[in-house]
Amino acid sequence: MGFLVRALDWLLFVFFLVHIPITLLIDIQSIFKDVHPDWLVQFTNKWAVENGDPYMALALAPAWFRALIYMELFIQTPLFFLFVPAFFMQSPRFNWVRIPAIVYGVQAVTAFTVLLCDVFMTDFSERNIGPKTPEQFKGLAAAYGPFLVFPILLLLRTLPCSELWPKKVKKQ
């Protein structure tokens, strides 16, 4: 396996590992408002207001965004717990994660394409919250962009091969 493939696998491992607490501590606040400590909810709301994030402003999260969060919680998060050991071990016994990884990748690319299109195509000038300055648009792109880029990288990693980690052939 080439160096670039192994490096990509390690990047994906870190992405999935980091994504678990982000989902459980930050993202699901938009659907479960009363489960998190007040300081965390205040932090999320403050970030949303300062950065013009119309999705994480908890009182204003649109229904379609909350639907994406339900999918993230009930479809993606269980997969993260499968992907973390698989991309850490990079062993042939984890080749079965290829199909779930493709499913996750397609779903995440679709969801974040919708989200980023909404950020850049919606006129937020007459709304209470939403990006108003170029810095806020760049900030939202920087905050949400990796959640589009990494699933694309995952698809590029998983689609062209039938095995993610081939069995090593013993030389005789």
pLDDT tens-digit map of 61-87: 889 999 999 999 999 999 999 999 999
Q: What pLDDT sits at residue 127?
A: 80
Q: Is residue 37 scored above 70 in pLDDT?
A: yes
High-pLDDT (> 70) share of the chain, %: 98
Say whether pTM exceeds 0.75.
yes
CB contact set of 140 (below 8 Å; sequence gap of 6+): 51, 52, 53, 119, 131
With contact defined as beta carbons under 8 Å apart, do 30 and 66 qualify? Answer: yes
